[in-house]
Amino acid sequence: MIVVMQKGATRDQVDHMAQRVEELGLKSHVIIGAERTVIAAIGEKRDYMRDALESGPGVERVVPILAPFKVASREVKPEPTQVVAGSLRVGAGTIGVIAGPCSVENEAQIIETAHRVKAAGATALRGGAFKPRTSPYSFQGLKEKGLEMLSRAREETGLAIVTEVMAPEDVPLVAQHTDVLQVGARNMQNYRLLEVVGQSKCAVLLKRGPAATIEELLLAAEYILDGGNKNVMLCERGIRTFEAHTRFTLPLATVPYLHNLTHLPIVVDPSHGTGHTYLVPDMAAAAVAAGTDGLIIEVHPDPEHAMSDGYQSLDYRQFEETMEKCRKIANVLGKTM
Ligand code: PEP
Ligand code: MN
């Protein structure tokens, strides 16, 4: 249910109603909107609860939440959410750009890349230290050493860091070195990981599983939101279909579709979404045209010699050109990029 407070409701009234919700055995999420404050009351609903809440001080009305996902829904919060994590801003008219290599390979690589993508307009640095690889014999990432290199890149450039966390027990360590915890496509439905990430102070980039529906993606986000972490970005990174000409199939209709259902910002990954360097610039531009709130793009100083995903990485020049192209479209749409 959503407890919609009156326009002039006081802080005391809001606190009182949040407490009433908890007393009924439901979880309360206070959402302060531009127009008014609402309290999402989540849990098993009983008939008497609605009347009990509707008669409370400062309450305008109590309405059911129709969507299966609750805190993520536009019913609860009509205004778009902007996620802010260090230098990165994503959503509500601002397009954030996260760029960097698939994997952190060495300190010189990550620091040089950080400087170059920042100069081209990126607002965050990506780089995997814990890598989920299909084969156990592939490069698995530099783990803690890689995280330390990301920290040094942040110190040098001021760029926010986005890096993947694969296991619940690694969350505290990764959180020490990053601004955004990336939950990878393979872990989208690792519910224990989602719960732990939901308790973190770091923002989260939740990638869509290649076989997950949009509803499953939103319900996965709901785990994180329900844990109390409101800084969640959803990422469309391509799904698996019968089509084999690209690594995954990148459905850009996801962007406006999600914007209809949720206030959470959407980030598109044209690198994993296509799996081919030459397709990335156009699909990045198309994502901006479709209304994306952010992009995550793999950039490597020497893609041919990358330790992972070189075939879909841009070099510096290609990234600069992609940024120019995307910025033109963002300008037409009246967005900041
Ligand atoms: C990545 O970002 O390098 C990555 C492994 O992405 P995904 O989880 O989308 O495959
Ligand atoms: Mn990759």
Q: Whose CA is nearest to atom 4 of ligand 1?
A: 184
Q: Is the CB of 239 under 6 A from ligand 1?
A: no
User: The whole model's pTM is what?
Assistant: 0.96
Point out the ligand 1 atom lying closest to the alpha carbon of residue 132: 5
Q: Is the CB of 18 under 6 A from ligand 1?
A: no
pLDDT of residue 217: 98
Q: Where are the domains of the chain?
A: 2-63, 83-332
Distance 81 CA to ligand 1 centre (A): 24
Q: Is the CB of 165 under 6 A from ligand 1?
A: no
Distance 81 CA to ligand 2 centre (A): 27
With cut-offs at 50, 70 and 90, classify the pLDDT of residue 46.
Answer: confident
What lies within 8 Å, CB to CB, of 98 at 6+ separation is 88, 122, 123, 124, 125, 126, 162, 180, 205, 267, 294, 295, 296, 297
Q: Which residues are in the CB-under-5-Å shell of ion ligand 2?
A: 102, 309
| CATH topology match: 2-63 vs 83-332 | no
pLDDT of residue 88: 98
Q: Is the CB of 185 under 6 A from ligand 1?
A: yes
Ligand nearest the Cα of residue 312 is: 2
Q: Is the CB of 300 under 6 A from ligand 1?
A: no
SS3 readout for the chain = CEEEECCCCCHHHHHHHHHHHHHCCCEEEEEECCCCEEEEEECCCCHHHHHHHHCCCCEEEEECCCCCCCCCECCCCCCCCCEEECCEEEECCECEEEEECCECCCHHHHHHHHHHHHHHCCCEEECECCCCCCCCCCCCCCHHHHHHHHHHHHHHHCCEEEEECCCHHHHHHHHHHCCEEEECHHHCCCHHHHHHHHCCCCEEEEECCCCCCHHHHHHHHHHHHHCCCCCEEEEECCECCCCCCCCCECCCCHHHHHHHHECCCEEECHHHHHCCHHHHHHHHHHHHHCCCCEEEEEECCCHHHCCCCHHHCECHHHHHHHHHHHHHHHHHCCCEC
Section 20-31 average pLDDT = 95
177-229: per-residue pLDDT in tens? 999 999 999 999 999 999 999 999 999 999 999 999 999 999 999 999 999 99
With cut-offs at 50, 70 and 90, classify the pLDDT of residue 47.
Answer: confident
Q: Is the CB of 122 under 6 A from ligand 1?
A: no
For residue 282, the one-letter residue type is D
96-142: per-residue pLDDT in tens? 999 999 999 999 999 999 999 999 999 999 999 999 999 999 999 99
**Residue pair 29/17 in contact by the 8 Å Cβ criterion:** no
Q: Which class is 83-332 in CATH?
A: alpha beta
pLDDT of residue 85: 98
Distance 334 CA to ligand 2 centre (A): 31
Q: Is the CB of 275 under 6 A from ligand 1?
A: no
Section 46-72 average pLDDT = 93
**Residue pair 30/36 in contact by the 8 Å Cβ criterion:** no
Q: Is the CB of 128 under 6 A from ligand 1?
A: yes
Q: From 128, 88, 102, select the one nearest 272 (Cα to Cα).
A: 102
Distance 68 CA to ligand 2 centre (A): 31
pLDDT of residue 45: 85
Distance 54 CA to ligand 1 centre (A): 45
Q: Please provide the average confidence, as pLDDT, over all residues in the chain.
A: 97
Distance 184 CA to ligand 1 centre (A): 5
Q: Which class is 2-63 in CATH?
A: alpha beta
Chain-centroid distance of CA 3 in Å reads: 27
228-247: per-residue pLDDT in tens? 999 999 999 999 999 999 99
Pocket test residue of 104, 142, 178, 182 for ligand 1, highest count of atoms within 8 A of CB: 182
Percent of the chain scoring above 70 in pLDDT = 100
Q: Whose CA is nearest to atom 6 of ligand 1?
A: 184
Q: Is the CB of 198 under 6 A from ligand 1?
A: no
